[in-house]
Structure 1
Amino acid sequence: MSRRDVLRVGGALAGGAAVKLLPSVAFSPPAPGAPDQTKTVQGTFPPSISDWYYLPVEVPKGVNQIDVVYSYDKPTVPSGTRGNACDIGMFGPEGHDLGNQRGFRGWSGGFRDRFSISASEATPGYVPGPIKPGTWHVILGPYTVAPQGMNYHVDITLHFGPEGAPFVPHPAPTTAPAKQRGKAWYRGDCHLHTVHSDGKRTPDELVADARAAGLDFIVSTDHNTLSSQLQWGDHATDDLLILNGEEVTTRSGHWPAIGLPAGTWIDWRYRAADRNDYKKFVDQVHKAGGLVTAAHPFANCFGCTFEFAYELSDLVEVWNGPWTDEDQQSVNHWDGLLRSGQFIPAVGDSDAHNPDQTVALPHTVVLADSLAQKDLLAGMKAGRSWLAESSAVTLSFAASSGGRSAGIGDRLPADIGVPVTVEVEVGGVPGTSVVILDQLGVEHTETVPSSGTAKVGWTTDARYSRWVRAEVRRASGSPKTTVANAMVAMTNPIFIGKP
């Protein structure tokens, strides 16, 4: 699968206010000796339809497991025409109204063709728990529909009998003592996937790869579900802090909510035009203590490009995976926001889904008072961070004037007419150039020697530079990309002058 395909298959998503119900399916109590019942629903979605359809399933007493299997046809379409793709999930009898976490029981987007839910366990992406009698709803999300329409087929099987032992959540611990260094720079990848959405890594495999990459923390951001948040304690180590998140995946773009309390679900059934709905869930994230990230803003696939209001975001993911022209567009747009006076700190994440996608390429290096969630989030929100292609890259960036100094994300209260000295020190970056920029663009460039280490300086004045930032570029490309002038590291700005 291409990276674009991986982004798309996580779900697509979101919808209008109208609730579209399909004909309901009713089950009766089981006959003696017949512990299972299966019902089939078939139909056709025309090309012009709503984003979401709900299939009511009347579940009687005595059910201990629900199985759902679905399929749809994929007719040949002309080049440039979108074919059929349909997502699936489940809500319980507590309801499926917008934001109803009590009713949410799971989501797998277009990644799986079946799932099971019982009191003891559930397919990854789904939430174990009692099978209460009442009206459940299978949610179908026709993502794209071919001109011929989409013929769908859903089989629902109920299993009767006593329930198994209840599932006991085991969220990740809130500390990683082996990596605790007090106030320090901490490396983290804040956009990652597992088998709980459309990733092919198990949680254990993701932890192993994050540790091997030299990370101090990760954020689990499976698409549109909370199921992995309930299980990270089974896979945690004392040298990697695991934070909870969710990649809220809508048809108007993706926005990872990071730093959530374990067991928090954020709804995704709206578009950018539904601004009040979007703001409602941004507010929910903030109230829970988390941050909102505008993910891969220029990803060129349907539903992936970020169309929401940037001013509601806490972070902008300007670098997503191996460097591409889409990342350059994101940096250009972010730089434009910065020039206009709108500072939203930049972050870089791998968005790794599969074993061939490198965890920590790139990642964000955060200055935090400790390796604790609230301190890491505070450092990112303040912009005290820089981005790197790997843990082999080191960087420091500071500005000084009149006996005062400031670092990344801070302000240097320099007086006009007093020189401002900017200094960048890098390591582990052979074959690169260091670039210093301000609101006018590139101001100074120096080639890094073959040793891969360099100290680069430049002088300006508060009259001419409102802020400065640094980039490290490699003309020949970077790991897993041949794009020229690829990013190797970049910083958030240091602001210059009185506010």
Structure 2
Amino acid sequence: MSFADAAPAAGHPAGAGRARGEQTRRVTGRLPAGAPDFVYLPVEVPPGVREIAVAYRYDRPAVPEGTSGNACDIGIFDERGTALGGAGFRGWSGGARTEFFLRADDATPGYLPGPVNAGTWHIALGPYTIAPQGLVYDVSVTLRYGPRRHTPAPVHPPERARGRGRAWYRGDSHLHSVHSDGRRTPAEIAALARAAGLDFINTSEHNTTSAHGAWAGLWGDDLLILTGEEITTRNGHVVAMGTDAGTFIDWRYRARDNAFGKYARAIRRAGGLVIPAHPHATCLGCGWKFGLTEADAVEVWNGPYTPDDEITLAEWDNTLVAHTRGRAAWLPAVGHSDAHRDPDVVGLPQTVVLADDLSRRALQDGIRAGRVWIAESSKIDLTFTVSGERGAHAGISERLAVPRTDRVTARLAVSGAPGCTVGFVTDQGSAYTAPLPPAGTGTVSWQTTPDHAAYIRAEVRHPATVPGLPGPMAALTNPVFLGRD
């Protein structure tokens, strides 16, 4: 797609085309079934352009039952190129928008304001699925000419809020706004987070950092806002929690490319945590195929509790068993809402972290160490400890180092969980269950020895609703480990 005839004549300044108003070019094409994951349409941008606007559409032919139809995402890279992890990324809206613009001082949510420099830009098409008939696309690009505007420096959230010193802090690190496929503004999300009793949230838009500078005036002493990204590959999604503001992490690879380790390290270099999201979700491309070796934690509970979460919980519990046998690293569990729009509930569930203060580093340290429990709302509170015969005791993620034959007592104090049942789970499976009093407030105790349990974790569940499955989760903890190393 060339706009070469709009370039200024030889000997004229770069801004000579400013009086030309705007020009539009259109390109159509067909992608066959089996096309690459990403197709790049080059756009030759001449000097003097102040704004690029793009609109696209594609056909959706009828397909036989059980066959995928057409779905095509879109984004854009500037004159610096399309290399993986390169500097050319300027925005992505996936399938959430059919048009967007960007210029120096503004851009459609999902896209990054900045200079519109001359050179070869690329429209990136991401054919998620292609019907047997192929996918016919139609892309229009409009260049608007005029004087360049100033790109203001983005205002990013601070990395610390007042907090309460060392305390349990509640947060939701998987949320979507209008900057990806959500329908809520950052202001609406901040208000909902406060109403949910949260102390922190994390921006996690699909494959873009455009929201990092969109929270000005929304943080405060009572709410810490971390910046991150949901890296949405074709083989699973990962929440990058608390990365340096403005840091973009690429998503254009599959498990077979053996590239995830490189990008997991890039998340950590940017100060973030690597958290696989909804590993067993059934949405296309959501199933996690990269393994858990590179993870700092895993999202075992995503939104309202479902059988998908039950499968993830069982898989995570198996990693705990492997860890106690010396065959795997200790991998903490977290939970997030993945809220996009009404009626999605921000803070359902929420991760409750024991941290030294309300700051990015302290929260990440708490999660990495597993000082975490998960609740469906701030109405639920709990305390979980395991104590030995001689007065030793341990809390969530800690080790109670007592002889293997000593009797230990697990105690879970719960409030705000009417109608629920408490359960203790060990490396041998579900070990003990007991109902809470009808009001949902009470303490349940159970005894065992390290010979019979390498760890104990606690669950609070509602009554069963699906035949053959335990009841939906109301709260769960990370484990307390038993015995000497």
State if a TM-score over 0.5 links the two structures. Answer: yes
CA distance in 2, matches of 1:271, 1:136: 24
Aligned twin of 2:461: 473
CA distance in 2, matches of 1:128, 1:436: 51
Contact 1:170 1:234 in 2 (8 A): no
**Residues 210 and 32 of structure 1, relative CA distance in 2, 3 Å threshold:** closer
Query: 1:467-490: CA deviations, max 9, x gaps?
Result: 000000101559xxxx86000000
Match of 2:156 among 166, 171, 180: 171
Query: 1:61-116: CA deviations, max 9, x gaps?
Result: 1000000000000111111111000000011111110111x211000000000110
Matches within 5 A, 1:43-82: 43-82=29-68
SS in 2 for 1:311: coil
SS in 2 for 1:233: coil
1:443 aligns with 2:436: no
2:356 is matched by which residue type in structure 1? D
Q: Structure 2 stretches of 5 or more lacking a match?
A: 9-16
CA distance in 2, matches of 1:49, 1:27: 32
1:158 aligns with 2:143: yes
CA distance in 2, matches of 1:112, 1:158: 19
2:268 is matched by which residue type in structure 1? H
Aligned twin of 2:106: 121
Aligned twin of 2:393: 405
1:391 aligns with 2:369: no
1:496 is matched by which residue type in structure 2? L
Aligned twin of 1:288: 270
User: Deviation of residue 32 (structure 1)?
Assistant: 8.1
Aligned twin of 1:250: 233
Aligned twin of 2:473: 487
Scaled by the length of structure 1, what TM-score is found?
Answer: 0.92
1:55 is matched by which residue type in structure 2? L
Query: 1:241-261: CA deviations, max 9, x gaps?
Result: 000110000000000111111
CA distance in 2, matches of 1:38, 1:360: 44
**Residues 53 and 26 of structure 1, relative CA distance in 2, 3 Å threshold:** farther
Contact 1:172 1:231 in 2 (8 A): no
Contact 2:19 2:146 in 1 (8 A): no
Matches within 5 A, 1:156-235: 156-177=141-162, 180-235=163-218
CA distance in 2, matches of 1:225, 1:489: 32
SS in 2 for 1:204: helix
Scaled by the length of structure 2, what TM-score is found?
Answer: 0.94
**Residues 492 and 27 of structure 1, relative CA distance in 2, 3 Å threshold:** farther
Query: 1:259-294: CA deviations, max 9, x gaps?
Result: 11110100000001122x211110011122210011
Aligned twin of 2:289: 307
CA distance in 2, matches of 1:51, 1:25: 27
CA distance in 1, matches of 2:347, 2:214: 22
1:324 aligns with 2:306: yes
SS in 1 for 2:227: strand
SS in 2 for 1:209: helix
Contact 1:366 1:379 in 2 (8 A): yes
Aligned twin of 1:268: 251
Query: 1:348-387: CA deviations, max 9, x gaps?
Result: 1000000210000001000001111101001001111000
User: Deviation of residue 466 (structure 1)?
Assistant: 0.5
Contact 2:18 2:48 in 1 (8 A): no
Contact 1:27 1:59 in 2 (8 A): no
CA distance in 2, matches of 1:330, 1:202: 30
Query: 1:432-460: CA deviations, max 9, x gaps?
Result: 00001100111111101112111011111
Query: 1:199-223: CA deviations, max 9, x gaps?
Result: 0000000000000000000011000
Contact 1:219 1:243 in 2 (8 A): yes
CA distance in 2, matches of 1:163, 1:77: 47
Aligned twin of 2:7: 29
